[in-house]
Chain A
């Protein structure tokens, strides 16, 4: 296992669209082990996407246990993930290992259902909410070359969104 170097903005390779994974072999296993170790070694330590370590493939790893304890799915390896459903909206402040020192407000869905393949290529489905849903959405954006900087909203938007969407 190894901790891989993280690309940081403005590296243009962060803005590439990643390719689907089609080969589920030992090499992929090893890469996902390294990717997971790199995630745990990072400042946030709760999520990472393959393009952040310069591999343009649709692979995301999320583990929000450092934040939520056991009240979550634990380690999720999401290969070729798709958002199958979402609802609700919430504003939260995000930062990113690939954008050091800056945080900003971003609107994300509150609850999502994500379909993906696991490391052996088996179809999986996860329902996530709150912080875990935010982490998954943030990492999935990397697969389309998007950073949270592409989704920044102002504080004023925050205020009025909250008014509209809170029950």
Chain B
């Protein structure tokens, strides 16, 4: 089995996930880690797939769904890289009046302390006159949650946003 990263984008409507995964199933692919979500008016899929033959046959299997649902699809062969063991230990929540530079400012500060972003979700919301930006980042801070608190503290004033820093405790029971 070889691995590929499959990206799918299409105007949001019911049936996209079913059509794509059914096509993959008929092409003898198996699905690994996946992120499927609506972004704006679009539905997006990014997933690791394992395929038995060549990527051409995966594309062929997806073709009817692509045409019927007007999807854009991209397949990247990837080598099998074992996932890193780092579990998220810190959650950073950011919200404030939307303006350019929030994400760059926050993630720049995090990168400076070696923070590894494991996932980031954000939403532009609020009314057109008063846009609100909400972002949740989960990741691994090698020097712990307190180091994150320190490094993002100056951004509250600089970017005019509220920033919460919370430890994520993973407990095995």
A: which residues have CB within 8 A of B? 42-44, 46-48, 67, 92-97, 103, 131, 134-135, 138-139, 148, 155-156, 158-159, 162
Q: Give how many B residues have a beta carbon under 8 Å from the other chain's beta carbons.
A: 14
Q: Are A139 and B138 in contact (CB under 8 A)?
A: no
Q: Does B121 contact A (CB under 8 A)?
A: yes
Interface of B (DSSP majority class): strand
Q: Does B22 contact A (CB under 8 A)?
A: no
Q: Are B168 and A93 in contact (CB under 8 A)?
A: yes
Query: Which residue of chain A lies nearest to B166 when distances are taken between CB atoms in the complex?
Result: A162
Q: Given A93-B168, A103-B87, answer yes or no on A155-B138 (Cβ-Cβ < 8 Å).
A: yes
A-B pairs under 8 A by CB, number: 52
Q: Are B169 and A95 in contact (CB under 8 A)?
A: no
Alpha-carbon distance between A134 and B134 when the two chains are bound, in angstroms: 29
> A44-B171, A47-B173, A95-B173 given. 6 additional CB < 8 A pairs?
A96-B173, A97-B173, A103-B87, A131-B169, A155-B136, A158-B136
For the complex of A and B, list the 5 residue pairs with the smallest distance between their C-beta atoms, beginning with the closest. Answer: A44-B172, A95-B172, A93-B170, A138-B173, A47-B173
Q: Does B47 contact A (CB under 8 A)?
A: no
Least Cβ distance of A29 to chain B in Å?
24
Alpha-carbon distance between A159 and B94 when the two chains are bound, in angstroms: 11
Q: Are B172 and A92 in contact (CB under 8 A)?
A: no
Point out the residues of chain B lying under 8 angstroms from A97, CB to CB.
Answer: 172-173
Q: Does B93 contact A (CB under 8 A)?
A: yes
Alpha-carbon distance between A48 and B169 when the two chains are bound, in angstroms: 19
